[in-house]
Amino acid sequence: MVINLLNTLITIVAGVAGAFVLYWILNKVVELLPGKWEDRLKPYAFVLPALLVIALYLIYPAIQTINYSFANDQSTTYVGLRNYSDLLSSPDFRQTLLNTLLWIIIVPVVTIILGLGVATLADRLGARGEKLTKTIIFLPMAISAVGAGTIWKFIYAANPKSQPQIGLQNAIVTKFGADPINWLQLSNFKVNSLLLMVILMWGQVGFAMVLLSAAIKSVPVDTLEAARIDGANEREVFTRVIVPQIWPTVITVFITVTIGVMKIFDIVYVMTDGNFNTNVIGVDFYNQLFNFNNAGYAAAIVVMLMVAVIPIMYYQVRHFRQEEAAR
């Protein structure tokens, strides 16, 4: 424990010191140039290390992944579009795409609704009640996805009828005389996938609540009072006055949660490992690469995920630019 702590401290100190020395050297080199060139090149000198890191750890791997998606399972021979055609023609992979699509449709929408509801209602509890409520709801954000999955395993746990039920849901079900239910194997109507979505929503509602609460508090009181004077009830004030003014924040939270959902891996991997028709793209990628040793399929899955994320990222950047232009 002490050795690990010492290694961590040394790493932090060395990293900070290394960054300081690097930028000090870059600054000194640029200062040797004539005044006109110094002013022109100094911003680039300070941005250059970050650009190199992005190029090395983001752009280059992305290009290599696209390249490997057209190769065989060992990345030794090009096979054209065979990886994509094999995956898209596979019933299992189409099921995985459907599961991922359901996550994308359900989780962000429900997270926004719950976060908005909690943010609105918590503001009516008074200072003390608001702080306590928001703290409790935000706490799951501090738990990793693996930790959250482990916690919820005890909620969904199912033992044989003759044994005590340690799972909360089965403890309640058996109290009413019913048999224990193996919740994570209920693939009909996607019940098990919906139960997995609950875990992610449990962790993300606090994030949505914090941002939406801040947006609601920034709504001018004058507009609320004017609406009430004009005869609007509280529901109309909320839907016609508050929501339109916080809509940019709603969009931002929605996009952020959506991108996180598209990359979901931990919860499904910990809870079911993609079994019982709960598989998603992230888990399928992991299994193809590490369990089936098929780098071609894994790379093709990642490329398809990147293609799906690009329009969302484009919309997000465009949305941010429109917000900045409106200020």
| Amino acid 304: pLDDT | 94
Question: Which residues, including other chains, have CB under 8 Å from residue 308's CB and lie 6 or more apart?
Answer: 262
- Tens digits of residue pLDDT in 105-149: 999 999 999 999 999 888 888 778 888 888 899 999 989 899 999
- Tens digits of residue pLDDT in 230-254: 888 888 999 999 999 999 899 999 9
Residue 201: pLDDT over 90 = yes
Residue 26: pLDDT over 90 = no
| Amino acid 313: pLDDT | 85
Read off the pLDDT of each residue in 75-100 and give the average, rounded to a whole number: 95
